[in-house]
Structures are given as structure tokens and as C-alpha cells.
């Protein structure tokens, strides 16, 4: 899987640097082209000469390469890489990544990189447990970077606990697996709706719902990581997505309908995870509605059902996934939706399960978005999953689509 791949290895100062040498050797043996960036501190633990010899490329440490003003271009390096792996990643560099600092070649390249970034931390157990490290960790994971967890055992300090750099073989397998998965949906067009819709009442008020969009965005990232060409139609959301995804922002159910249907013929996989308003005000006042009577009623009309339309137009090469958010008779209602909307699969979440469904803004900021889903297949199979982080739930959904398609 690694033959010809461009792997950029970042090495921070750590006693575990000897493992970086072994990791680089494994990548090169597997046929990858490897470039190494070291922080200044890393060079006190292992020499650039060692890593240059193993990687078969000069090791880069400084922005300026020599006294003649030749410089190491962090933007070019970031674009060159198919994947970037920071191993070992120190607490200091982790903090810099989390806050967008770029005071050395490694951190500047990280900021410029468009590829996926893996990071394998190594530090003493108290540093690893520190609330600031935990916060930094969840920040960089929320940017889409992938953690390769440290292991437990004896640490350089003599203490025992979590913080040891993962073994080179483990990191190597994670990266190989990433490349294997990244061809799963190669060049397939995937269309996803996400988030809420807002239906205007007047210029300052609307009817909306609590959807954050997180589930749909996580599915979009997962598909993009696995080689698909992803189009995301999103209702209002504070989330952002990587540049690999083509995103169109909409506000109303009607706009989401138009943008989705316009693109649906082209898509091989269609996933409707948006929480679309079922009703919209019949009229929208151009002026702010003034407070008058004790009671106030808004006349509403049904919106167009996007999933129903997509299901009715479905072609033989298309796989359509609906979502169902239920509060009661969950399985029965979800099955009904699957049949009525001509879906191939329905992802059910029920508010009867705590931690399932919508994510609060607070939990979103802390990267604590969770969901508990049940997947129903067209053939009547039911797959139940435990409560998980929404990024992991996205993996389960995409894996299931791969099996059912
Ligand atoms: N959906 C849609 N367009 C709508 C309403 C819903 O595409 N106007 C899609 C959702 O994105 C989801 C599925 O239909 O994939 C089910 O949505 P849900 O709100 O659970 O069900 P509804 O069909 O709206 O029915 P009800 O609200 O009565 O449960």
C-alpha cells in the first residue's frame, strides 16, 4: 500500500526518537518516499545524519537551509505529502498545533499541509494527564488530525503509566491501513446533506432545530478520507470541513431541496442526514412582526421531502441512506421510513438513548459529540452499535455502506 507514497515524518525532542528511526526504516522498506522534519530539540536526541541516511533524503530542521539564503519551503513540503505523521509528538508541539503557532519548520509545515495528519504523542504520564494537554489533544482531533495513542509502561522518568510512544510497527500499520482505506470509495461521487434548516418568520426570527450538523460533517470527512469525491449540502452550522470536500451552504428546506436534487443524478451514494424542517411559514413578513395580542399563530405549510424525492428518482447504480430521529416506536417508524422513501439503508437514532441525537454547542466545542445508532438494511437486518464519538459512528456507517452496497 505504501509504494510510491509521500510520507512526511515530523520528529520532536523525545527520548523515544530512536523509535522514529525504526519507523522511517519501515516506511522506506515498504517503498514509500520519506522526508523528515526535525525540531531543534529533536536533534539533541538523535542526529539528522541518522534520519537522513535512513530516509534517503536530507533532513530539514531550519527555515533557512544555508548561508546563501536557500530556504526550506514549508508550503511545498505540506503540498508534497500524501500523509504527515508526527512521531514522537511532544507536549510542546501538540500545544503549538492546537493554537496555530508556527515558530519552526515543523509547525509551519503542519499549518500548510492539506493531507491527513497523524500524531503519536510521547511524554511523561503527568504531562499526558494534564488538563491543558487533554484540551490541546481534543482541539487538534477536532481539526481532523488522527491520534495514534501512546502506550502504557515504564517511562524515561522511571514512572509507570500512559505516555510511551506507540511501537513503530503499530504506527506503520495505522498508516498502511489508512492508505488501504483511502482507496475504498476511490472516485465515487457521494452527496450528503447535514445540519438544520432555518425557516424565516420575519427578518429577525426563524423556526429551526438543535441539529449541529456534526454527524453529516463527520460522514463527509470519512468518505473523503476513503477516496470519495464528496459534496456536502449543509444547513446553518458553525462547523468547517477540510478542503477535500465541496460544500454548499443553504438556509431553508427549499434551498436544500433544490441544491440536493440538482446534484443527485451524479451521485452514486446519497446520504440524507440533515434535520430538515417539515413545515415552513406560509408567508414571511418583510418587516419585524410587532408584539400585539396575547396569542399568536403562524400558518405553516409542508416542505418538500428531499429524501422522498431522491428515493423516487433512484437509479440502479445509486445507494440511498436516510436518517430517522425517533422518540418512540423507533424501529417500527424507521422501517416505515426506509420503505416509504425507497432507501437502501436507514440510520436510526432515538432520543430514548442518552448521548444520542443532537449535540449541544458546548459538547461540540469540547469534541464530546456522541451518538448511538441502529442501522436498518433493506433486507431487514438490524445492526446495533454502542454509544460512540460521532467520528467513530461515521466510520461504522461508512463501513456498513461498504458492506451493503
Ligand atoms: N428528510 C428530508 N426532507 C424533509 C424531511 C426529512 O430529506 N423535508 C429526510 C431527513 O434528512 C432524514 C429522513 O428524511 O434522512 C427522515 O427524517 P425525519 O425528520 O426523521 O422524518 P420525517 O420524514 O420528517 O418524518 P417525521 O418528522 O414525521 O418523523
Where does residue 261 rank: exposed (0-12), middle (13-18), buried (19+ CB within 10 A)?
middle
User: Binning pLDDT at 50, 70 and 90, where does residue 350 land?
Assistant: confident
Q: What is the pLDDT of residues 305-322, one digit of tens each?
A: 999 999 999 999 999 999
User: Residue 46: what pLDDT?
Assistant: 97
User: Residue 142: what pLDDT?
Assistant: 78
Residue of 73 and 16 predicted with greater confidence:
16
Residue among 233, 259, 272 whose CB has most ligand 1 atoms within 8 A, to mutate: 272
The mean pLDDT value for 361-385 works out to 84
Residues in the chain: 405
The cell for 387 is: 454509544
Q: Whose CA is nearest to atom 18 of ligand 1?
A: 324
Residue among 194, 322, 342, 356 whose CB has most ligand 1 atoms within 8 A, to mutate: 322
Residue of 269 and 361 predicted with greater confidence:
269
The mean pLDDT value for 291-302 works out to 96
Place of cell 432555518: 198
The mean pLDDT value for 140-167 works out to 91
Residue among 253, 269, 274, 277 whose CB has most ligand 1 atoms within 8 A, to mutate: 274
Q: What is the pLDDT of residues 21-37, one digit of tens each?
A: 999 999 999 999 999 99
Distance from the alpha carbon of residue 368 to the mean position of ligand 1, in angstroms: 25
Nearest atom of ligand 1 to the alpha carbon of 278:
8
Distance from the alpha carbon of residue 7 to the mean position of ligand 1, in angstroms: 43
Q: Whose CA is nearest to atom 21 of ligand 1?
A: 324
Q: What share of the chain is helix, strand, coil (3-state, %, to 5)?
A: 35, 25, 40
Q: What is the pLDDT of residues 52-107, one digit of tens each?
A: 999 999 999 998 877 778 888 888 999 999 999 999 999 999 999 999 999 999 99
The mean pLDDT value for 250-258 works out to 98
Q: Is the pLDDT of residue 49 over 80?
A: yes
Residues identified as active-site:
209
Q: Whose CA is nearest to atom 16 of ligand 1?
A: 324
Q: Is the pLDDT of residue 360 over 70?
A: no
User: Residue 170: what pLDDT?
Assistant: 98
Q: Is the pLDDT of residue 367 over 70?
A: no
With a Cβ cut-off of 6 Å, ligand 1 is lined by 193, 253, 272, 274, 276, 278, 303, 305-307, 322-325, 337
Q: Is the pLDDT of residue 183 over 90?
A: no
- Cα gap 271→286, rounded to integer Å: 34
User: Residue 289: what pLDDT?
Assistant: 96
Nearest atom of ligand 1 to the alpha carbon of 193:
11
Q: Whose CA is nearest to atom 27 of ligand 1?
A: 278
Q: Is the pLDDT of residue 397 over 80?
A: yes
Distance from the alpha carbon of residue 341 to the mean position of ligand 1, in angstroms: 9
Distance from the alpha carbon of residue 192 to the mean position of ligand 1, in angstroms: 14
Distance from the alpha carbon of residue 90 to the mean position of ligand 1, in angstroms: 46
Q: Is the pLDDT of residue 296 over 70?
A: yes
Percent of the chain whose pLDDT exceeds 70: 98
Distance from the alpha carbon of residue 340 to the mean position of ligand 1, in angstroms: 11
Residue of 13 and 74 predicted with greater confidence:
13
Q: Whose CA is nearest to atom 12 of ligand 1?
A: 323
Nearest atom of ligand 1 to the alpha carbon of 325:
20
Place of cell 457521494: 190
* DSSP-assigned beta bridge partners for residue 375: 347, 383
Q: Whose CA is nearest to atom 14 of ligand 1?
A: 307
Q: Is the pLDDT of residue 121 over 90?
A: yes
Q: What is the pLDDT of residues 216-253, one digit of tens each?
A: 999 999 999 899 999 999 999 999 887 789 999 999 99
Distance from the alpha carbon of residue 398 to the mean position of ligand 1, in angstroms: 20
User: Binning pLDDT at 50, 70 and 90, where does residue 361 land?
Assistant: low
Q: Is the pLDDT of residue 362 over 80?
A: no
The alpha-helical segments, DSSP class H, found in 125-269 are: 125-129, 131-142, 168-181, 214-225, 253-264
- Cα gap 190→247, rounded to integer Å: 12
User: Residue 330: what pLDDT?
Assistant: 94
Amino acid at each position: 500500500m505504501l509504494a510510491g507514497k509521500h510520507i512526511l515524518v515530523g520528529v520532536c525532542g523525545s527520548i523515544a526518537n530512536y523509535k522514529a528511526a525504526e519507523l522511517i526504516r519501515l516506511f522506506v522498506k515498504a517503498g514509500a518516499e520519506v522526508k523528515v522534519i526535525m525540531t531543534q530539540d529533536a536533534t539533541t536526541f538523535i542526529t539528522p545524519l541518522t534520519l537522513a541516511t535512513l530516509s534517503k533524503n536530507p533532513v530539514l530542521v531550519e527555515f533557512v537551509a544555508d548561508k546563501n539564503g536557500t530556504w526550506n519551503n514549508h508550503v511545498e513540503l505540506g503540498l508534497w505529502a500524501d500523509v504527515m505523521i508526527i512521531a514522537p509528538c511532544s507536549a510542546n508541539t501538540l500545544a503549538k498545533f492546537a493554537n496555530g503557532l508556527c515558530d519552526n519548520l515543523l509547525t509551519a509545515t503542519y499549518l500548510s499541509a492539506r493531507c491527513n495528519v497523524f500524531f503519536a504523542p510521547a511524554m511523561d504520564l503527568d504531562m499526558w494527564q494534564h488538563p491543558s494537554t487533554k484540551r490541546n489533544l481534543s482541539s487538534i482531533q477536532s481539526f481532523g488530525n488522527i491520534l495514534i495513542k501512546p502506550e502504557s509502561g515504564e517511562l524515561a522518568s522511571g514512572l509507570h503509566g500512559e505516555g510511551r510512544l506507540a511501537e513503530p510497527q503499530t504506527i506503520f500499520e495505522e498508516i498502511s491501513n489508512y492508505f488501504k482505506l483511502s482507496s475504498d470509495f476511490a472516485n465515487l461521487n457521494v452527496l450528503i446533506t447535514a445540519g438544520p434548516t432555518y425557516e424565516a418568520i420575519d427578518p429577525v426570527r426563524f423556526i429551526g432545530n438543535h441539529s449541529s450538523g456534526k454527524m453529516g460533517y463527520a460522514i463527509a470527512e470519512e468518505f473523503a478520507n476513503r477516496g470519495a469525491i464528496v459534496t456536502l449540502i449543509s444547513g446553518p452550522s458553525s462547523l468547517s470541513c477540510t478542503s477535500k470536500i465541496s460544500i454548499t451552504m443553504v438556509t431553508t428546506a427549499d434551498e436544500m431541496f433544490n441544491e440536493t436534487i440538482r446534484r443527485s443524478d451524479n451521485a452514486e451514494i446519497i446520504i440524507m442526514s440533515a434535520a430538515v424542517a417539515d413545515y415552513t411559514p406560509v408567508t414571511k413578513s418583510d418587516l419585524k412582526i410587532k408584539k400585539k395580542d396575547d396569542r399568536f399563530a403562524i400558518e405553516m405549510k409542508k416542505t418538500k421531502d428531499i429524501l422522498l424525492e431522491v428515493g423516487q428518482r433512484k437509479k440502479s447504480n445509486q445507494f440511498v441512506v436516510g436518517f430517522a430521529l425517533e422518540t418512540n416506536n423507533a424501529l417500527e417508524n424507521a422501517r416505515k421510513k426506509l420503505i416509504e422513501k425507497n432507501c437502501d439503508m436507514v440510520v436510526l437514532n432515538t432520543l430514548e438513548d442518552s448521548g444520542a441525537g443532537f449535540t449541544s454547542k458546548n459538547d461540540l466545542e469540547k469534541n464530546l459529540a456522541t451518538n448511538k445508532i441502529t442501522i436498518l438494511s433493506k433486507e431487514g437486518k438490524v445492526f446495533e452499535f454502542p454509544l460512540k464519538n460521532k467520528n467513530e459512528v461515521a466510520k461504522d456507517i461508512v463501513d456498513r455502506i461498504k458492506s451493503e452496497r
